[in-house]
Chains A and B, each alone.
Chain A
Amino acid sequence: MATIPLSIAKYIRSMWMAEMIITYLRIDKHGNLVDWGGYPQHYGLTNLATGKPVTEQVGFLEGLLSVPHTQVLQFVRVANGRCAHVHIMPLDNGTYVLMLDATAEHDRQQKMQQQLNELSILTYRQSQWLQELETTRQQLAEEKRLLNEVSELKSRFIATLSHELRSSLTSIVGYTELLDEAKQADVREANYLSSVKNNANHLLSLIDNVLDQAKLEAGQIVLQPSSCDVKQLIADLKPLFFPTAQEKGLAFETDIQPKMPARVILDEWRFRQVLINLITNALNFTEQGFVRITLGWQAGRLEFSVADSGPGISEQAQPKIFAPFHRESTTHALPGAGLGLAISHHIVNLMGGELTVESSLGQGSIFGGFVEASLAQPTASTDENVSTATEAKAKILIVDDNADIRNLMEIYLEDGGYAAITAGDGAEAIILALQTEPDLVLMDMQMPVTSGYEAVQQLRSDNFTKPIIALSASTLAQDKSYALEVGCDHYLVKPVSPEELLNTIEQILLKQHLA
Chain B
Amino acid sequence: MATLQKKICMIGDFSVGKTSLVARFVRQAFSEKYMTTVGVKIDTKLVKAQDGREVKLILWDIAGNDALTTATTSYLRGAAGFLLVADGTRRPTFDSALNLQKAITAQIGNKPFVVLLNKADLSDQWEIDESLIEEKKQQGWKILSTSAKTGMNVEETFIDLATQMLEA
- Besides A59-B56, A77-B41, A124-B90, 9 more A-B contacts (Cβ < 8 Å) are A62-B78, A63-B7, A71-B77, A77-B42, A79-B43, A83-B39, A113-B38, A113-B63, A114-B36
Q: Scan residues 19-60 of chain B and give those whose CB is less than 8 A from a CB of chain A.
A: 34-44, 56, 58, 60
B80 CB within 8 Å of chain A: yes
**Is A60 touching B74 in the complex (CB atoms < 8 A)?**
no
- Complex-state Cα separation, A6 to B80, whole angstroms: 49
A-B contact pairs, 15 of them (CB 8 A): A53-B2, A56-B2, A56-B5, A60-B42, A62-B6, A63-B78, A63-B80, A74-B74, A76-B39, A77-B41, A110-B35, A110-B37, A114-B34, A121-B15, A124-B92
Q: Scan residues 87-128 of chain B and give those whose CB is less than 8 A from a CB of chain A.
A: 90, 92
Q: A interface vs B, CB < 8 Å?
A: 53, 55-56, 59-60, 62-64, 71-79, 83, 102, 106, 109-110, 113-114, 117-118, 120-121, 124
**Is B36 touching A60 in the complex (CB atoms < 8 A)?**
no
**Is A76 touching B40 in the complex (CB atoms < 8 A)?**
yes
**Is A110 touching B77 in the complex (CB atoms < 8 A)?**
no
**Is B36 touching A110 in the complex (CB atoms < 8 A)?**
yes
CB distance from B135 to the nearest CB of A (A): 24
**Is A64 touching B77 in the complex (CB atoms < 8 A)?**
yes
CB contacts (< 8 Å) of B60 on chain A: these are: 60
**Is A76 touching B36 in the complex (CB atoms < 8 A)?**
no
**Closest chain A residue to B43 by CB distance?**
A79
B159 CB within 8 Å of chain A: no
CB distance from B20 to the nearest CB of A (A): 14
CB distance from B4 to the nearest CB of A (A): 10
Q: Scan residues 135-161 of chain B and give those whose CB is less than 8 A from a CB of chain A.
A: none
CB contacts (< 8 Å) of B42 on chain A: these are: 59-60, 76-79
**Closest chain A residue to B2 by CB distance?**
A56
**Is B75 touching A73 in the complex (CB atoms < 8 A)?**
yes
- Complex-state Cα separation, A120 to B92, whole angstroms: 12
CB contacts (< 8 Å) of B77 on chain A: these are: 63-64, 71
CB contacts (< 8 Å) of B133 on chain A: these are: none
- Complex-state Cα separation, A63 to B9, whole angstroms: 12
- Complex-state Cα separation, A55 to B79, whole angstroms: 14
- Complex-state Cα separation, A197 to B74, whole angstroms: 100
Our pick among B38, B63, B71, B79 for the contact of A63 (Cβ within 8 Å) is: B79
Of the listed residues B36, B39, B43, B80, the one surrounded by the most CB atoms of chain A closer than 10 A to its CB is B39
Our pick among A73, A74, A118 for the contact of B34 (Cβ within 8 Å) is: A118
**Is B78 touching A106 in the complex (CB atoms < 8 A)?**
no
CB distance from B68 to the nearest CB of A (A): 15
- Complex-state Cα separation, A63 to B36, whole angstroms: 26
The 9 closest A-B pairs by CB, nearest first: A63-B78, A75-B39, A77-B41, A114-B36, A110-B38, A60-B42, A117-B14, A59-B58, A109-B38
CB distance from B86 to the nearest CB of A (A): 14
**Is A59 touching B74 in the complex (CB atoms < 8 A)?**
no
**Is A75 touching B56 in the complex (CB atoms < 8 A)?**
no
**Is B41 touching A64 in the complex (CB atoms < 8 A)?**
no
| Given A74-B71, A117-B15, A120-B14, A60 and B58 contact (CB-CB distance below 8 Å) | yes
CB contacts (< 8 Å) of B6 on chain A: these are: 62
**Is A77 touching B36 in the complex (CB atoms < 8 A)?**
no
- Complex-state Cα separation, A91 to B2, whole angstroms: 26
**Closest chain A residue to B78 by CB distance?**
A63
**Is B14 touching A59 in the complex (CB atoms < 8 A)?**
no
CB distance from B158 to the nearest CB of A (A): 16
CB distance from A384 to the nearest CB of B (A): 81
CB distance from B162 to the nearest CB of A (A): 14
**Is A77 touching B40 in the complex (CB atoms < 8 A)?**
yes
**Closest chain A residue to B41 by CB distance?**
A77
CB distance from B33 to the nearest CB of A (A): 11
- Complex-state Cα separation, A120 to B16, whole angstroms: 13
CB distance from A123 to the nearest CB of B (A): 12
CB distance from B31 to the nearest CB of A (A): 14
**Is B78 touching A72 in the complex (CB atoms < 8 A)?**
no
Our pick among B5, B35, B36, B74 for the contact of A55 (Cβ within 8 Å) is: B5
- Complex-state Cα separation, A62 to B8, whole angstroms: 10
CB contacts (< 8 Å) of B7 on chain A: these are: 62-63
CB contacts (< 8 Å) of A77 on chain B: these are: 39-42
CB distance from A18 to the nearest CB of B (A): 23
CB distance from B58 to the nearest CB of A (A): 5
B17 CB within 8 Å of chain A: no
CB contacts (< 8 Å) of B75 on chain A: these are: 73
**Closest chain B residue to A52 by CB distance?**
B2
**Closest chain A residue to B87 by CB distance?**
A121
**Is A73 touching B35 in the complex (CB atoms < 8 A)?**
no
**Closest chain A residue to B90 by CB distance?**
A124
CB contacts (< 8 Å) of B40 on chain A: these are: 73, 75-77
**Is A117 touching B36 in the complex (CB atoms < 8 A)?**
yes
CB contacts (< 8 Å) of B92 on chain A: these are: 124
CB distance from B76 to the nearest CB of A (A): 10
**Closest chain A residue to B14 by CB distance?**
A117
**Is A73 touching B74 in the complex (CB atoms < 8 A)?**
yes
Of the listed residues B35, B42, B90, the one surrounded by the most CB atoms of chain A closer than 10 A to its CB is B42
| Given A59-B58, A64-B78, A113 and B36 contact (CB-CB distance below 8 Å) | yes
B64 CB within 8 Å of chain A: yes
- Complex-state Cα separation, A102 to B39, whole angstroms: 11
| Given A72-B74, A124-B92, A106 and B5 contact (CB-CB distance below 8 Å) | no
